[in-house]
Amino acid sequence: MKIEKVVEKLADRYPAIYAMNWDNPGLQVGKSSHPVKKIMVALDATNHVIQECISWGADLLVTHHPLLLSGIKNITDGNFQGQKVFDMVENGIAHYAVHTNYDVLKMTELAEKALKLKKTQILEITGIRDDGSVYGIGSVGTVSGKMTAGEYCEYVKKAFELKSVRLFGSPDQEIKRIAVSPGSGKSMIGAALSANADLLVTGDIGHHDGLDAVDQGMAVIDAGHYGIEHIFVPGMAQELREAFPELKIKEVKEKEPFTVI
């Protein structure tokens, strides 16, 4: 089998048309005409991940975040991104990313299931299909029974297998309506407030972002960018195993990119 068959399957399942206009999903590095026997799945194309691909003999690396998201002006061994490209090319490894198109078509669904939200709706609409149905990023729904923000922190930790989260707001605040936006969600605070959410679960919340949300009556749980989005790895690996049972699929065992001391 050639890489192009896997690429075609992913492009058909997660069309680039669903991605944000600033995004860069798709084939990042390599030739689609090359054969594939082993696929590695990870959240990011870090040096550690690439070296694991090399050691395992992977032919294709599928990640959530694109290596070439921001764009680079040159590819040399003098910059770290260029060296990553060299490492993959020299070892016959192609790299494919499904980013905000995956967020729209799958990540929100996975996050909803992890949190067991009920009566959900799209948090931020990003487009309209030809049939008039809408799609977007994030979700807002309700929890079962009465809970406080502090209790929900423990719930989120268990749902996403995390050691810690950060809470902006009072642990005693009663919450019922929950918004979730995997990844970096400070830009989603306005949408969550407009959706009358009592609490937003997301990542990459800055000091002032959190304070402003609390001042407007909404608590925020910052579970980290990795914290919520790492569900991509087992989710994508399972899809690839079902679609290509003849290939070997390996999930990179990752963890938070920082240590809380």
Superfamily holding 3-98+231-251: NIF3 (NGG1p interacting factor 3)-like (3.40.1390.30)
The set of residues, in sequence order, having a beta carbon less than 8 Å from that of 105 and lying 6+ positions away, is 13, 14, 18, 135
Over residues 87-91, the mean pLDDT reads 96
Q: Which amino acid is at 168?
A: F
Helix then strand then coil, in percent of the chain rounded to 5, is 35, 30, 35
pLDDT in tens, 3-49: 999 999 999 999 999 999 999 999 999 999 999 999 999 999 999 99
Q: Residue 64: what pLDDT?
A: 98
Average pLDDT of the chain to the nearest whole number:
95
DSSP string, 52-63: HHHHHT-SEEEE
pLDDT in tens, 196-225: 999 999 999 999 999 999 999 999 999 999
Which residue in 57, 52, 43 sits closest to 91, CA to CA?
57
Q: Is the pLDDT of residue 124 over 90?
A: yes
Integer Cα distance of 31 and 45 in angstroms? 17
User: CATH for 102-225?
Assistant: 3.40.1390.30
Over residues 115-144, the mean pLDDT reads 96
β-partners of residue 249 are 39
pLDDT in tens, 138-162: 999 999 888 999 999 999 999 999 9
Distance of CA 87 to the CA centre of its chain: 24
Where in the sequence of the chain do the CATH 3.40.1390.30 domains occur?
Answer: 3-98+231-251, 102-225
Per the structure block, which two tokens stand in for 40?
Answer: 């590695």
Q: Residue 247: what pLDDT?
A: 98
The rounded percent of the chain whose pLDDT value lies above 70 is 100
Parallel, antiparallel, or unpaired for β 199-203 and 174-184?
Answer: parallel
Phi-psi region of 161 (alpha: psi -120 to 50; beta: other; left: phi over 0): left
Return phi, psi of residue 106, to 5°: -145, -40
Q: Which amino acid is at 246?
A: E
